[in-house]
Amino acid sequence: MIMPSRPSRRSAIAALSVGICSLGLSHSLLARAAVTEVKVGVILPLTGDKATFGQESLNGLKLALDKAGKDAPQLKIQVEDTQGTPAGSAAAVNKLISTDRVAVIIGEVASSNTIAASTAAQSAKIPLVTHASTNDSITLGKDFISRICFVDSFQGAVMAKFALNNLKAKTAAILVDSDSDYSRGLRDSFKQTFVAAGGVIKDELVISYSQKDRDFKTQLMKVRKATPDVVFIPGYYTQVGAILRQAKELKLNTKFLGTDGWDSPDLFKIAGAAAAGHYVSSHFASDDTDPRVQEFVREYKVRNKENPGAMAALGYDAGFFMRAAIKKAGSSEPSKIRDAIASMKNFDGITGTITIDKNRNAVKPAVIVTTTEKEFKFLTRVNP
Amino acid sequence: MFDFIQYLFDGLAVGSVYALIALGYSMVFGVLQLVNFAHGELFMVGAYFVMYAISLGLPWPLALAFGMCSVGFFAVIMERLCYKPLRGAGKLAPLITAVGLSLLLQNLVQAILGPNPQSYPASLPEGYFSNALKSIFPSPEQIQLPQLPEGLFDWGEIVVRHRDLLIFIVAVAVTLGLELFLRKSRPGRGIRALALQPNAAKLVGVPFDFTISITFFIGAALAVLAGLLQGMADNQVTPYMGISSGLKAFAAAVLGGIGVIPGALVGGLVLGIAERLLVGYDLSTYKDGAAFFILIIVLLLRPQGLLGKARMVKV
């Protein structure tokens, strides 16, 4: 059969133009469809001396993602272990960006590690949301970096006021982890608030230790001689556990104050009976009577056979927060997700209502917990 | 002044642990001129071994003896398999093997027992083997854990923990015992003969392989003792603990004069005290660097170490 040539050419052009149109249509459809799944990089200290923080964060995050179910947008997580070091964190971010091509990154816990990671993320213009790093400088001047936890200038002040008003302390000593930006930032904010309100912290009682230290007797002896009313230790549980234990050996009877770096079940394993009777600021308490907190605690316990700590709660919030932000962005494009994160308001998390301020920090309350030999007990909530 | 004396006392315990590890480095170097970098890992493995044995309910002397023998034999096998075939291959090959072994052990322990610090009572990782063990032994909660003495000597300005003195006394006793063993016993004399003049020693009938095995065994057993003391003092055992302690102990051995037994003790104590002084005067950031700075200074002035004897190099 022989077809006339003219109509065939015309119909071909028509078909082509319809094709182009539909291609354009399907392209925009595809772009919309792409939001159904977004690759999210996760960097956590899964090994090393902050490993419980990484594992709890991951457990919380996974619980949140599973609970969200099959609804779009789906977050496809790619988890990298940072070994709890700044170098490991920077390497993990670089791998996630260049090899896995993630759209957004959640993580690190320790501030020094997040600082290292954020430099890499900022220069690649990939948004990074830290769920747990509280050092003030992290988001400073880096417009792709934000956080869903409070900052240390708030946390340090909370503990200073608690020491002055609730414990009636007049003198304090500070033990500083000199390897950690987190610890140094908290030292400054605690000292500033404590001294401004009339408390006394002698210069020789701001004593440093290193994360590699195992014996803290020399530092504790200085405290023992000066007998301050309270000792503030902004540090991580591995060293703090050893410090508390050795303080008890030296029959040191001052009260210890801590920060969210203490919030790990391993604190009690290392310190044993010496863990009891101290005060710690944190993001969350598992015995908080809020029904939503209790629902989370129940679900977490079923899956992980242990009580969730603050890191688990923050990981959980990070999962839902990221999902909400991506939904709001309506795109898997990193810069759009960044804008959505920066403009999140009144996100209802289990660690409090999260509003991202103009410096991309979260404004939210802290809790103060007290310690027994085995666990943390909810004491009070402090609003910003 | 009181502070200074206090820091001297504080340094004793830290230095004594370095010394116990340094003895192994020193002995092995003495007979083979080999720096056994895997030695720090034996200390770590020993700490785990004894911790698990105690957590399973073994009384501590039995756990220690068990750990010393097991890790000791492990060291002997390690030497036979990894170092012995390289005896004729110059000095570089065994040295690199030692570094490799060290990394292998660290990562093996990390893979099997997990990367996180363990505390007393340690629970075994889940698995068939541990379930079998658990059915034989009582659960950790029912076990009365041994502890180092908790008391204090409180002399007002100066406070010394009983456990620090105990660790120091153990280190001194072990060093003296080892020196006595090397001087008086037959295998000990064999070790000294090999260290002095290997070929002549072989000619007069010192059993070469056997003597080297004994050297490795003793070194490993002392590392296990150090691991037990450190683990109990800190209530923390990690797969990484062998790296820094091992390196410091190596520095201590060189500082005191590698191959000289009392040198290991002196070197360990000097390093321990130097560390505590830096921490005391609020320079703890420089603590680890300082150990090696001291080492460099001493080696510039006395290349043979503090107690080492200058030896002519055979050409």
CATH topology of domain A153-282: Rossmann fold (3.40.50)
Per-residue model confidence (pLDDT) at position B223: 96
On the question of pLDDT at B146 being above 90, the answer is no
Residue of A nearest to B7 (CA): A218
Per-residue model confidence (pLDDT) at position A130: 96
Q: How many helices (H) and strands (E) does chain B have?
A: 12, 2
Nearest to A270 among B7, B119, B150 (CB): B119
Test A242 with B282 for CB contact under 8 angstroms: no
Test B279 with A221 for CB contact under 8 angstroms: no
Per-residue model confidence (pLDDT) at position A74: 86
Whether B13 has its CB under 8 Å from any CB of chain A: the answer is yes
How far apart are the two ends of chain B, measured CA to CA in Å?
50
Nearest to A250 among B119, B152, B279 (CB): B152
Closest-CA distance, B3 to chain A, in angstroms, reads 9
A 10 A CB-CB count for A252 gives: 18
Test B115 with A224 for CB contact under 8 angstroms: no
On the question of pLDDT at B148 being above 50, the answer is yes
Lowest-confidence pick of A21-30, A32-41, B51-60, B97-106:
A21-30
Q: Per-residue confidence at A31, pLDDT binned at 50, 70, 90? A: very low
Q: What is the pLDDT of residues A186-215, one digit of tens each?
A: 999 999 999 999 999 999 899 999 888 888
Choose between B131 and B235: higher pLDDT: B235
On the question of pLDDT at B145 being above 80, the answer is no
Q: Per-residue confidence at A142, pLDDT binned at 50, 70, 90? A: very high
Residue of A nearest to B235 (CA): A270
Test A212 with B287 for CB contact under 8 angstroms: yes
Residues of B with Cβ-Cβ distance to A183 under 8 angstroms = none
Nearest to B7 among A179, A218, A272 (CB): A218
Nearest to A178 among B117, B235, B284 (CB): B284
On the question of pLDDT at B60 being above 70, the answer is yes
Per-residue model confidence (pLDDT) at position A23: 47
Residues of A with Cβ-Cβ distance to B236 under 8 angstroms = 214, 238, 241-242, 270
Helix (H, G, I), strand (E, B) or coil at B153: strand
Q: What is the pLDDT of residues B88-133, one digit of tens each?
A: 888 889 999 999 999 999 999 988 887 778 887 776 666 666 666 6
On the question of pLDDT at A36 being above 70, the answer is yes
Based on the number of CB atoms within 10 Å of its own CB, is B150 exposed (0-12), middle (13-18) or buried (19 or more)? Answer: exposed
Per-residue model confidence (pLDDT) at position B169: 94
Residues of B with Cβ-Cβ distance to A217 under 8 angstroms = 10, 161, 164
Sequence-distant (≥ 6) Cβ neighbours of residue B227 within 8 angstroms: B43, B44, B45, B46, B47, B48, B49, B50, B67, B237
Test B159 with A250 for CB contact under 8 angstroms: yes
Question: How far is the C-alpha of A135 from the C-alpha of A92, rounded, in Å?
Answer: 20
Which 107-136 residues of chain B touch chain A by CB within 8 A?
A: 110, 115-117, 119
Check: CATH 3.40.50.2300 for A34-150+289-364? yes
* Among A94, A89, A107, residue whose Cα is nearest residue A48: A89
Sequence letter at residue B233: A
On the question of pLDDT at A15 being above 70, the answer is no
Test A49 with B159 for CB contact under 8 angstroms: no
Q: Per-residue confidence at A134, pLDDT binned at 50, 70, 90? A: very high
Q: What is the pLDDT of residues B276-294, one digit of tens each?
A: 888 888 777 777 787 788 8
On the question of pLDDT at A28 being above 60, the answer is no
Sequence-distant (≥ 6) Cβ neighbours of residue A264 within 8 angstroms: A52, A53, A56, A237, A309, A311
| ipTM (interface predicted TM) | 0.82
Residue of B nearest to A221 (CA): B159
Lowest-confidence pick of A22-31, A298-307, B88-97:
A22-31
Residue of B nearest to A243 (CA): B234
CATH topology of domain B2-114+155-301: ABC transporter involved in vitamin B12 uptake, BtuC (1.10.3470)
Nearest to B284 among A210, A225, A251 (CB): A210
Q: What is the mean pLDDT of chain A?
A: 88
Question: Is residue B71 a contact partner of residue B45, using CB atoms and an 8 Å limit?
Answer: yes
Q: What is the pLDDT of residues A49-99, one digit of tens each?
A: 788 899 999 999 999 999 887 777 889 999 999 988 999 999 999 999 999
Test B279 with A209 for CB contact under 8 angstroms: yes
Residues of A with Cβ-Cβ distance to B13 under 8 angstroms = 215
- The structural domains of chain A, with segments of one domain joined by +, span 34-150+289-364, 153-282
Nearest to B116 among A52, A209, A251 (CB): A52
Per-residue model confidence (pLDDT) at position B133: 66
Question: Is residue A343 a contact partner of residue A356, using CB atoms and an 8 Å limit?
Answer: yes
Percent of chain A with pLDDT over 90: 73
Task: Kindly write down the DSSP assignment for every residue of B218-264, as one continuous string.
Answer: HHHHHHHHHHHHHHHHHT-B-TTHHHHHHHHHHHHHHHH-TT-HHHH
Task: Kindly write down the DSSP assignment for every residue of A40-70, as one continuous string.
Answer: EEEEE--SSTTHHHHHHHHHHHHHHHHHHTT
Question: How far is the C-alpha of A101 from the C-alpha of B222, rounded, in Å?
Answer: 51
Question: Is residue B261 a contact partner of residue B182, using CB atoms and an 8 Å limit?
Answer: yes
Q: At what angle do helices B241-256 and B92-113 cross, to 10 degrees?
A: 150
Mean pLDDT of the B2-20 span = 90
Per-residue model confidence (pLDDT) at position A24: 46
On the question of pLDDT at B48 being above 90, the answer is yes
Q: What is the pLDDT of residues A233-266, one digit of tens each?
A: 999 999 999 999 999 988 888 899 999 999 998 8
Which of B119, B120, B145, B155 is the best mutation test for A, with the most CBs of A within 10 A? B119
Per-residue model confidence (pLDDT) at position A160: 95
Q: Per-residue confidence at B143, pLDDT binned at 50, 70, 90? A: low
- The structural domains of chain B, with segments of one domain joined by +, span 2-114+155-301
Which of A206, A218, A222, A246 is the best mutation test for B, with the most CBs of B within 10 A? A218
Test B280 with A218 for CB contact under 8 angstroms: yes
